[in-house]
Homo-oligomer: A and B are copies of this chain.
Amino acid sequence: MYQQIADEIRGQIVAGDLEPGAKLPTEAEMRSAYDVSRETVRKALNLLVNEGLVVSARPQGHFVRRREPMIFRPQTEFRKRPHSPEMDAFATEHSAEGREPRQVIEVAIVEPPAEVAKRLQLKAGDLVAIRKRVRYLDGEPFNINDSYFPLDIVRDSEIMRPEDITRGANEVLAELGYRQVRALDELYVRMPQPEEVKRLELPPGTPVGYHITTGFTAEGRPVRVATTVLPGDRHVISYERGLETPGEEA
């Protein structure tokens, strides 16, 4: 029964009868409209909140969720190419032009999480340096970027200072004798952990992309693992491909 209520409202939202930002009826109104108890109404609303369609703004009521401006995340391999007109248009549409960027950096020495230790091929007990960044645009957080380095190669380097490295941490690694020549990228889709919810101010019903890059030197040694948490409501990941070898897309 609460599912039916949710279905009805969801239908109005996807059909556009209820526009983003529109106020939903109050719980009391829905209770009498459907002749059910308050808890039943709340279960229906809860469904929609967890689907990311509705937000609750106490005590103003429930609202159809607005779509955040999407941030364009081009994959670097493709940035060097001359862009096609379509790609240009796409980039322009999702540009962050005119928005005010800011970042907060923390640096620490920690025992790495298992998934990082594995990718850096560390032994138990080995420590890593971690640079944790939260990036903001117009004061709103839009992604978390944590980079891990084996402690023995970055100790006492610039990487340990909690400041912006304008030429890039990769360049510093290269100066230390560990130039990365290739990277393995993995992208997972999952629900955020509570800490990520807090750091990114994620509304309920917002999944994240979890991007892990492992950078290797020419000798095949992994020297950097970067994890990026991308809130799904604020990011499009995009790239352009040549299709010299057409094949069915898997």
Cα A207 to Cα B75 in complex, Å, equals 22
Q: How many copies does the complex hold?
A: 2
Report B-chain residues with C-beta under 8 Å of the C-beta of A75. Answer: 239, 241
Measured between C-beta atoms, what is the minimum distance from A50 to chain B in Å? 5
Give the number of residues in A that approach B within 8 Å (Cβ atoms): 72
Binding site for B on A (CB under 8 A): 7, 10, 14, 46, 50-52, 73-77, 80, 84-87, 90, 145, 165, 168-171, 174, 179-191, 193-194, 204-205, 207-209, 213-216, 220, 222, 226, 228, 230, 232-233, 235-250
Report B-chain residues with C-beta under 8 Å of the C-beta of A246. Answer: 168, 170-171, 174, 179-180
- Which residue on B lies nearest to A174, using beta carbons? B246
Report which of B14, B168, B209 forms a contact with A189, defined as CB distance below 8 A. Answer: B209
Report B-chain residues with C-beta under 8 Å of the C-beta of A183. Answer: 240-241, 243
Report which of B73, B187, B249 forms a contact with A238, defined as CB distance below 8 A. Answer: B187
Report which of B189, B216, B247 forms a contact with A230, defined as CB distance below 8 A. Answer: B189
Cα A189 to Cα B243 in complex, Å, equals 25
Q: Check if B169 sits within 8 Å of A248, measured CB to CB.
A: yes
Q: Check if B80 sits within 8 Å of A182, measured CB to CB.
A: no
Report B-chain residues with C-beta under 8 Å of the C-beta of A85. Answer: 220
